[in-house]
Every structure is written in structure tokens, then in C-alpha cells.
Amino acid sequence: MKDIILKAENISKQYRLGQVGTGTLSHDLNRWWHQIRGKENPYLKIGDTNDRSTKGTSDYVWALQDINFEVQRGEVLGIIGKNGAGKSTLLKILSKVTAPTTGIIKSRGRIASLLEVGTGFNGEMTGRENIFLNGAILGMTKKEISSKLDEIIEFSGCERYIDTPVKRYSSGMTVRLAFAVAAFLEPEILVIDEVLAVGDAEFQKKAIGKMQDISRGQGRTVLFVSHNMAAIETLCTRVISMNNGSVFGDGSPTQIISEYLQSNSFSERIINFDNADKAKGNDNIKILYAAIENASASDKSQVIDVTSAVDFRMKIINKTDKQRISIGYDLLTIKGDVVFGSGGKFDCKIGELTDISCRIPANFLNDDVYQIYCYFHTNEMKDLFSDEELLTFEVKDVKRESGYLGKVNGFIRPSLSWSQNNEA
């Protein structure tokens, strides 16, 4: 039986642009008049979706719309999405910092929130005093805080400055102390926004390790918002992706992260232009054609099987005064990890079309979505042009995926020769 510790039912949040509060006096009177007659708030029927890329037509905007999900005890739920997707608003509602416009949050147990650097800290008070203040805000007794005090101070790494006013702390020191308080006071639910990005690499590693201990060792629940996909995939047991205030995906970390990153990639497997004026590039280089030619022009979603070679081809026009130029590319996973780089020097007649291709051998790339980061230089390594997301394509082991074995470990999966020697 599921042990549900947190549940969001039809959560929506509406804001009025350019105003503090709910709007004008006439709007408030209109709401009141509808309320006493038992009718719905009239302003819930209006408002734009939270899409910052388009110009709205209403003074009202829905930061969140109809959010529904459940979180089980001991689960580490990652929440990802572009800036403005509604992640922080959702966490503030879950933490009861702000109320939803519609919907309800059901929770069992104490919730500790770490939403912004230094939230709940008093700059005039020392670090030690702020531990007690923050602990009290989180609902802990003085005795409970005192029993964990030494562990909190040691974990934060701020022992030398613990009796110094927090206003003297750097942002990194503040977040270290705030995280230590929230983590060690043993809440049933720990809510963490993108604050760990402020800490250094050493502290981030400690913090992630602590969150794993909290969830796996102590059976507590963690809600974690981050733009660090590696941390999300490592830490979380489940991921929700958000877009324009709505849930875009919900499932396993690897699947949801891959779908999210692909949805935000505007590159294609094939680009083709009729003439140089329309082509991709600049005053030095024009790319009229670029393709992963395993994917046909009529089916840009075609998946390349791992048993097939990957053919990368470009047709370019060199508009510099240098005939010999360097052309190369980095192959990256959709998460930004560099698999390898390759390139060379080519004679490209000035003003004429040059056809260049590169073959990645079969049985080499692992199951993943890849991007071509292409770059052009002079022999003196002067930048001519580069495109970080020239092409995107997917490689998949269809046969293995249909069985029970799953994905082979690693970025690459070369078909290597094996031998056996049975001589004594």
C-alpha cells in the first residue's frame, strides 16, 4: 500500500501583473459580491498562461495551472523546468509560504523549506543565534535544537564564524548554514530550491550526500528543484518537469530529463537552404546543408540503430580570404557531456561550395540523444564561426531495448574483439 506523505490536488496560482495584492478596490468588491452569493470568483475565468515568450492580453497570469501529483514517504522528487516554469511558486505553496488560488495541499509531518539564501535569517544575529531562530521557525524545541547544534555547526563548515553576525557572511556561508539547519533538524519533508548552486563543489557534494542519507537511510522525503541535471539524475528517484505553469512530464529521472532536454532543443537532424543569403552562418562561413544522413528529410524523427554508422555531412561556402581552414566538431550528449571531438584542415575554395563528411562507426555510440557542436577556425586558430547545436539526433539499441537488459553503461559502447586462451 502506498504511503503518501504529500499530495497536491488541482493546484493553481494566479497573479495580477504590475500590482501588489489582488488588484483594484472594484475587483475586490466584485469578488466579495460573488462570494456572498455563493458564486465562483469571476477572475478565475480570465488570465494568460505563464508563457514569457509571448505578449499577454490580460492583466492576470496563471503561474500554475491544475497541478496534481502525489509524493510517497522516502521519495526524492526532482522538479525541473525553464526559468519561469513555476517551480519555485510550487515549492512556496507546498511549503505553505503562500496560498494557492485554487486547490489544496495535503501533507503529513513537518515540512522544512530552503527556498532562498538566508530565508528566515536575521543579519544582526550571530550564526549560532540564527540556528536557534531558524530551528524555532521550523517548529523545533530549544532542547531538540541544542542536541543537534554541534552537528549542524560542523557540517556547515562555519565553526570559526559561528558567533559572528550573519550579515558578515558570504552568500555561500549563509546557504551552508541554512542547509545544515534544515537537514539536521529532521523534518519529515525537506523542500530545497536551487540554493545549492551558491555553495562550492565540496559543499554541493556533501549536501547531495546528506540528502541521500535523509531519504534512503532515514526514510524522509525530499523535494529538490535544480537546473543541475547531473545532480537531479544522481539524487532523485522520480522527476517532474514543468512548462508554463503546468506539469510536462512525470516519471523516471533518465526518461524525464531526456524528454525535457529534447523539448528545449530547437536543432534538427537536417538543415537545408536554397541559397547563401538564407544559410546558417556569418560573413566568414555559410552552411547551406548539414545533416545526419541516416535520418531522411521526410522523417526527421527517425532513430538511428546502434548497429548503423552515423554519417555527418555538411556543404559550406568559405567567404574568407583563406583557402585552407580548420573544421571540427564536438559530439555532446543532450546533457552536455562531451563524448569526443574530431576535426581537420581542409582546402575550401573561396566562394565555392565545399562538401565535407565524417563517419562515426557502427556499434560505437551508446543509447542517447546527441548534439553536434560545430566550429570553424583559421590555421592561426582565429574563430570564424561556431554553432553549439547545429544538429540533434538519437541513437538507440532497438533489439536490446525490447529485452530485459537495458542500456549498456558508459558514453560509448564499441564492439571490441575478445579472445580466449585455454592453454595451461
Q: Indicate the SS3 state at residue 65.
A: strand
Cell numbers 545533416 correspond to 291
Please list the residues that pair with 375 across neighbouring strands: 328, 386
Between CA 302 and CA 27 the distance in angstroms is 53
Read off the pLDDT of residues 267-287 as tens digits, 9 standing for 90 and up: 578 889 988 888 999 999 999
- For 184-212, write each residue's pLDDT tens digit: 877 788 888 766 655 666 777 777 777 77
DSSP label of 165: B
Between strands 238-243 and 76-81, the pairing is parallel
For 355, counting Cβ atoms within 10 Å of its Cβ (0-12 exposed, 13-18 middle, 19+ buried), the class is exposed
Can you tell me the distance from the alpha carbon of 119 to that of 225, in angstroms, rounded to the nearest whole number? 16
All structural domains of the chain: 4-12+66-263 (3.40.50.300), 270-401 (2.70.50.60)
Q: Which residue carries 553576525 as its cell?
A: 165
Burial class (CB in 10 A: 0-12, 13-18, 19+), 118: buried
Distance (Å, whole) CA 29 – CA 374: 60
Which letter does DSSP use for residue 217 in this model?
A: I
CA distances from 20 to 27, 63, 103 (A): 13, 15, 22
Does 296 score more than 50 pLDDT?
A: no
Q: How many C-beta neighbours within 10 Å does residue 54 have?
A: 9
Extract the C-alpha cell encoding 35.
462570494
Cα-based angle 127, 129, 134 (whole degrees, multiple of 5): 90
> SS3 of 377, please?
strand
Q: Is 144 exposed, middle or buried (0-12, 13-18, 19+ CB in 10 A)?
A: middle
**Residues ≥6 apart with Cβ < 8 Å to 335:** 229, 230, 233, 257, 261
Query: What's the grid cell of residue 67?
Result: 497541478
Strands 221-225 and 189-192: parallel
Calpha distance 242→225 (Å, rounded): 11
68-77, 166-175, 292-301: which range is least confident on average?
292-301
Q: Is residue 315 within a helix (H) or strand (E), and if so which, with residue range?
A: strand 310-318
Mean pLDDT for 326-338 is 88
Extract the C-alpha cell encoding 375.
566550429
Our measurement of the distance from residue 289's CA atom to the centroid of its chain's CA atoms, rounded to an integer in Å, reads 31
State the Cα–Cα distance between residues 17 and 22, nearest whole angstrom.
10
End-to-end CA distance of the chain: 57
State pLDDT tens for residues 20-69.
555 555 666 666 666 676 666 655 555 445 554 455 556 677 888 889 99
Place of cell 478565475: 44
Percent of the chain at pLDDT above 90? 25
Over residues 84-112, the pLDDT tens digits come to 788 888 988 888 888 888 889 988 887 87
- Residue-wise pLDDT for 380-414, tens only, equals 889 999 998 899 888 888 676 544 456 778 888 88
- DSSP-derived 3-state class of residue 234: helix
Residue among 410, 310, 314, 397 nearest 360 (CA): 310
**Rg from Cα positions in the chain:** 27
